[in-house]
């Protein structure tokens, strides 16, 4: 967690008028920048950005900067909705009608019916009074937490240690007192809450799916603590909306806990396949954020074409079980196959498949080898996104990653692990375990129960046939 907000040093060091810097002296800006970058290179946390251009008609394929085709196994386009014909058609027709841009901020010419319709749809999805769309969920989290905590007198924030950087930034920007509770540790959270009177405003911020580990937050239990200590809950469902629950409203919907949560935040840029973020809550809270949050007020709104695509995606996934069923089946298949081979998968109950490597340089080189030798793109994840020694490959199976593609990925990982002598699950166990790998009794049941998955698959098959038949009838 970042350190608390600190005021910048005063520009006036003394009452004496400072002398101008002599030629060739003064602060070495470029040297400072290079020094900071050198630190990143030395600790292996420097970020490399691969040139990956995803091909809509060949999903989940992409081409590199040289035009070479590769299979993408790490996209957050979890359900492949970015290329769904309904969404693409909606966006094409909207751009023909309304043009490319929004034309202004929400209160100056940038507030269209599509924005209002999408917010109404999102509020309905989460069974809340209202919703508010932002340019991204990073902005939504930052703006909402910083606005609420700075406006409520004496507000105290409680943040899970594994929270996303957007929430951390919002907490920092609020300048409000904060406590960081150990990841998913209810006892620690309660110990911190007990320090404050019921009259003290409190916000508990946490996630449903933690994207680098795949762990699931204790939603019902945290909601119960919030009720006991008179706090409000802020639940980030970014890596869950579209993928869990009867209508894709997230983990809270799947476990029947949406009514227990005060603020739900989500993204339109992952499972929904477009871009943008949002909050859903009661009407007065949403209106307060709308009225006070600079991150909402002072930025150009998202274009109508984006709103149309997002609205179509939300409505589609409210009804269709096809994409969720495909993702869940392929996730289970990959986790089981890798586990049988002893390749170290960080055990978790969600759709994320983290493969433990345990060293930053090695993780990067494995990612490079997958791309260059096997034409498979899987991004390595290093510090500070994960702890030092827990570096990993983050794999995200989608409905498009069928058996043939899966055989290619598994074969490549099997070859690399054998040729490099990388640690398997048994090796980690002999060392006492790491990141949940190789720990006795560390097996984890999947969040989506087998009976629910069977029901999803049973409903998905006729739905897919009906959708196909509808498409055929339209073309006849």
Output the six-digit token pair for 418.
Answer: 């054998």
Q: Is 270 a catalytic residue?
A: yes
User: Are the C-beta atoms of 268 and 310 separated by less than 8 Å?
Assistant: yes
pLDDT over 80 (residue 406): yes
Burial of 149 (0-12, 13-18, 19+ CB in 10 A): buried
Q: Residue 259 and residue 127: Cα distance in Å, rounded?
A: 8
pLDDT over 50 (residue 8): no
Portion of the chain with pLDDT greater than 70, in percent: 92
Q: What is the pLDDT of residue 127?
A: 98
User: Are the C-beta atoms of 90 and 97 separated by less than 8 Å?
Assistant: no
List beta partners, residue 131: 280
Catalytic residue among 128, 270, 364, 434: 270
User: Are the C-beta atoms of 225 and 192 separated by less than 8 Å?
Assistant: no
Q: Residue 95 and residue 112: Cα distance in Å, rounded?
A: 13
| pLDDT band at residue 466 using 50, 70 and 90 as cut-offs | low
The sign of the torsion formed by the CA atoms of 38, 39, 41, 42 equals positive
User: Are the C-beta atoms of 231 and 225 separated by less than 8 Å?
Assistant: yes
Q: What is the pLDDT of residue 19?
A: 55
Element (H, E) at 142: helix 137-151
Output the six-digit token pair for 154.
Answer: 């004496």
| Between residues 457 and 220, the one the model is more confident about | 220
Q: Residue 282 and residue 131: Cα distance in Å, rounded?
A: 8
Q: What is the pLDDT of residue 18?
A: 53
Name the region of 27 (left: φ>0; alpha: ψ -120 to 50; beta: rest).
beta
Portion of the chain with pLDDT greater than 90, in percent: 88
List beta partners, residue 132: 279
Can you count the helices (H) and strands (E) in the chain?
Answer: 16, 14
Output the six-digit token pair for 13.
Answer: 């060091």
Element (H, E) at 115: helix 113-125
User: What average pLDDT does this structure show over 123-137?
Assistant: 98
Q: Parallel, antiparallel, or unpaired for β 202-207 and 232-236?
A: parallel
User: pLDDT of 418-430, one tens digit each?
Assistant: 999 999 999 999 9
User: pLDDT of 248-275, one tens digit each?
Assistant: 999 999 999 999 999 999 999 999 999 9
pTM for the predicted model, two decimal places: 0.90
pLDDT over 90 (residue 45): no
Q: Residue 222 and residue 207: Cα distance in Å, rounded?
A: 11
For residue 185, what are the CA distances in angstroms to 78, 162, 167, 200?
28, 11, 18, 22
In this predicted structure, which of 3-17, 121-135, 289-303 has the lowest mean pLDDT? 3-17
The sign of the torsion formed by the CA atoms of 402, 406, 407, 408 equals positive
* Radius of gyration for the chain, computed over Cα atoms and rounded to the nearest angstrom: 24
| pLDDT band at residue 13 using 50, 70 and 90 as cut-offs | very low
Q: For residue 90, give every residue at least 6 positions away whose Cβ sits within 8 Å of its Cβ, in sequence order, or none.
A: 308, 309, 311, 312
The sign of the torsion formed by the CA atoms of 73, 397, 464, 265 equals negative
Q: What is the pLDDT of residue 43?
A: 86
Question: What is the CA 312 to chain-centroid distance, rounded?
Answer: 21
User: Are the C-beta atoms of 358 and 393 separated by less than 8 Å?
Assistant: no
pLDDT over 70 (residue 224): yes
Mean pLDDT of the chain: 92
pLDDT over 60 (residue 441): yes
Q: What is the pLDDT of residue 461?
A: 79
Which three-class secondary structure state does DSSP give residue 119? Answer: helix
């Amino acid at each position: 967690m970042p350190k608390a907000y600190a005021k910048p040093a005063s520009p006036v060091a003394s009452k004496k008028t400072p002398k101008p810097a002599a030629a060739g002296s003064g602060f070495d800006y470029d040297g400072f920048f290079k020094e900071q970058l050198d630190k990143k290179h030395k600790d292996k946390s420097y970020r490399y950005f691969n040139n990956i251009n995803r091909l809509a008609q060949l999903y989940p394929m992409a081409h590199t900067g040289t035009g070479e085709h590769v299979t993408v196994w790490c996209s957050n386009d979890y359900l492949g909705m970015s290329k769904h014909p309904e969404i693409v058609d909606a966006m094409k027709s909207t751009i023909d009608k309304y043009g490319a841009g929004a034309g202004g901020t929400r209160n100056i010419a940038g507030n269209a019916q599509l924005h209002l319709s999408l917010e109404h749809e999102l509020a309905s999805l989460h069974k809340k009074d209202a919703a508010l769309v932002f340019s991204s969920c990073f902005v939504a989290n930052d703006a909402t937490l910083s606005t609420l905590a700075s406006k409520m007198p004496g507000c105290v924030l409680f943040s899970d240690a594994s929270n996303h950087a957007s929430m951390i930034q919002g907490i920092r920007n609020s300048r409000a007192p904060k406590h960081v509770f150990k990841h998913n540790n209810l006892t620690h959270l309660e110990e911190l809450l007990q320090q404050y009177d019921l009259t003290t405003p409190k916000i508990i911020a946490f996630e449903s799916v933690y994207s680098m580990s795949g762990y699931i937050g204790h939603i019902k239990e945290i909601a119960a603590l919030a009720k006991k200590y008179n706090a409000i809950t802020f639940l980030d469902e970014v890596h869950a909306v579209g993928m869990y629950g009867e209508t894709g409203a997230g983990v809270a919907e799947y476990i029947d806990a949406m009514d227990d949560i005060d603020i739900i935040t989500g993204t339109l840029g992952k499972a929904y396949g477009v871009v943008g973020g949002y909050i859903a809550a009661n009407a007065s809270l949403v209106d307060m954020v709308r009225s006070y949050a600079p991150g909402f007020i002072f930025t150009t709104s998202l274009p109508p074409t984006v709103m149309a695509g997002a609205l179509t995606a939300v409505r589609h996934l409210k009804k269709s079980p096809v994409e969720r069923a495909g993702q869940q089946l392929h996730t289970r298949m990959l986790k089981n196959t890798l586990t049988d081979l002893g390749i170290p998968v960080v055990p978790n109950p969600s759709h994320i498949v983290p493969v433990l490597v345990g060293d930053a340089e090695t993780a990067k080189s494995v990612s490079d080898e997958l791309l260059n030798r096997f034409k498979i793109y899987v991004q390595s994840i290093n510090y500070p996104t994960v702890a030092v020694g827990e570096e990993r490959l983050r794999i995200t199976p989608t409905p498009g990653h069928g058996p043939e593609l899966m055989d290619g990925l598994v074969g490549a990982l099997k070859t690399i692990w054998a040729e490099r002598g990388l640690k398997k699950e048994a090796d980690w166990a002999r060392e006492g375990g790491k990141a949940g790998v190789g720990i006795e009794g560390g097996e984890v049941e999947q969040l989506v129960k087998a009976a629910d998955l069977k029901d999803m698959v049973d409903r998905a098959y006729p739905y897919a046939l009906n959708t196909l038949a509808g498409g055929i009838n339209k073309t006849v």
